[in-house]
Every structure is written in C-alpha cells, then in structure tokens.
A and B are shown apart, each in its own frame.
Chain A
Amino acid sequence: GAVVSQHPSRVICKSGTSVKIECRSLDFQATTMFWYRQFPKQSLMLMATSNEGSKATYEQGVEKDKFLINHASLTLSTLTVTSAHPEDSSFYICSASPTGPNEKLFFGSGTQLSVL
C-alpha cells in the first residue's frame, strides 16, 4: 500500500503556542490531503481538505484561522494549530489517496497533541 508519513507523533506544548504537524506522501503524489481529529473513544472527524496550490476547504465548525493548512507541494501538507489551548488536545491524523476521489485512503501515523 501507499505510505503517508506524519510528524511529529507526539507533541506537548504550552497554552498559547503554535504547533506545526507535517504530512507527507512518500511514494505517490497527492493533490489532495485530508486532516482529521479524533478525541478519545470518539469517531474520526474530518476537519479540512488540503488542496495543493490553493486554499484548504474547512468543514463546518472548524476555525480556519486557528487551524492553518498549507499544501505547498504534491507531497507535503502541513497543519498548524495556532494559539493552542487545552481543548485543542487531541489526536490529529492526515490521510491521502493515491488513486483519486472516493478511493482508498492511507493514513499517517497520527499526532497526539497535548496542550498544557
């Protein structure tokens, strides 16, 4: 299967700081990548769709100014959580598909964010 790499796997930060999470497709090009958030024992929640060379599309209720997404190349998307607060603590996961819309998604290993 395709490989999606995500870093860091775990980050602890102080309230008010910003955290950047990287997502890379290692063996395929991804014009579109997806960012999810998952709270403990909860389902995956799609946050936004990252589009290479254009603005991200955010799901309803997700603050675009707080969760900055940049997709500068066909293999890299970044999610920056700005001015993080304890309620932003969650498991963030990126995904991408090597084969197109509504096809199998491959997920990064996830980033556990803890905001103190």
Chain B
Amino acid sequence: QKEVEQNSGPLSVPEGAIASLNCTYSDRGSQSFFWYRQYSGKSPELIMSIYSNGDKEDGRFTAQLNKASQYVSLLIRDSQPSDSATYLCAVGSSGGSYIPTFGRGTSLIVHP
C-alpha cells in the first residue's frame, strides 16, 4: 500500500512569514512529485512539480525533494492571507498504478 503522509494541521503563520509544508512517502521508486492548492469548496490546482533531488523555485514557492529520505516539502515565502488553503502532496507511483497518490492535505492559515 503506497502511502503519502502529511500533517493535517492547521499550520498557522503570520503574514509575511515563511510557511513550510512537509510530506513523506513510502514508494521508494517514485519519480514524480506534485503540490496542489485547494481552496475551500474548490477543486485542486497544480502549484509545483518536481522530479529531481534539490530545490525548485517558482515565484514565492519552493519545492524541495530528498529521495533518499523520502520527503518532499513546499516553502511559501512572504505568505499572504490569500495563501490560506489546503495543500495536497501527490506522489507518482513507480509501478502498477498510473495515477499519483494524494496525501490528505495540510491546512494552512495565514493571519494578518
């Protein structure tokens, strides 16, 4: 059973701070990793994808991947109240399934 674990939160950070969201996964052979943002009552929206160890930056977002430790994280710099949402980590399967496995999501609250 492939698993993707996330702390459900909520993670509360002040406006302007760095929000750090973490995700661990069990499938050692996974090669693709994704972060989605989901606002309440809306469908998930892709924020970042990462495939290689290290950091990948896109605007205020940085995804970090460490395959040896089987974790992937998302940093949000200069957090804004509009970043308040649930962040879903998804990990591609190494075999069998052809659909990424989603974590349960971490709720982020950015307070003014």
Per CB-CB distance, the 3 closest pairs between chain A and chain B, nearest first, are A101-B98, A102-B92, A43-B104
* Chief secondary structure at chain B's binding surface: loop
25 contacts between A and B (CB under 8 A): A1-B46, A6-B43, A43-B102, A43-B103, A44-B44, A44-B88, A44-B102, A93-B43, A100-B98, A101-B92, A101-B99, A102-B32, A102-B92, A102-B98, A102-B99, A102-B100, A103-B32, A103-B92, A104-B32, A105-B44, A105-B46, A106-B46, A108-B43, A110-B42, A110-B43
Asked whether, in the complex, the Cβ of A109 is within 8 Å of the Cβ of B100, the reply is no
Measuring CB to CB, which residues of chain B are less than 8 angstroms from any residue of chain A? 31-32, 34, 41-46, 49, 88, 90, 92-93, 97-100, 102-105
Pairwise interchain contact B43-A107, C-beta atoms closer than 8 A: yes
Instruction: Kindly state whether residue A78 has any CB partner on chain B within 8 Å.
Output: no
In the assembled complex, the Cα of A112 lies from the Cα of B32 at a distance in Å of 30
